[in-house]
Amino acid sequence: MKAKKKPFHALDLQQLNLTEATIIAPRTERTSLSLPAARKSGRILKGTLMEQTAELVQLLRSEDKVI
């Protein structure tokens, strides 16, 4: 509740020793821009639930190396 009782002090640019030019000037520079790599298309697993699960685990282990 102390935060509600604290006074709020508004500071202007001169009090912070800043100018409008320093605030507006960009601080970063873009060196290049490219598209992300193309993604593989999705895959629909067929079979029973147990077969789908086994195939999914096998794909995650061998192709994507997730688990």
Q: pTM of the full predicted structure?
A: 0.42
Give the pLDDT score at 17.
85
Token pair for 12: 């202007």
Cβ-contact 60, 67 below 8 angstroms: yes
Cβ-contact 16, 9 below 8 angstroms: no
Q: Tell me what the mean pLDDT of segment 36-59 comes to.
A: 91
Give the pLDDT score at 7.
82
Residue (of 56, 59, 34) closest to 46 by Cα position: 56
Give the pLDDT score at 52.
95
Residue that the structure tokens 């895959």 belong to: 43
Give the pLDDT score at 40.
82
pLDDT, tens digit, for every residue of 4-33?
Answer: 777 888 988 888 888 887 777 778 888 999
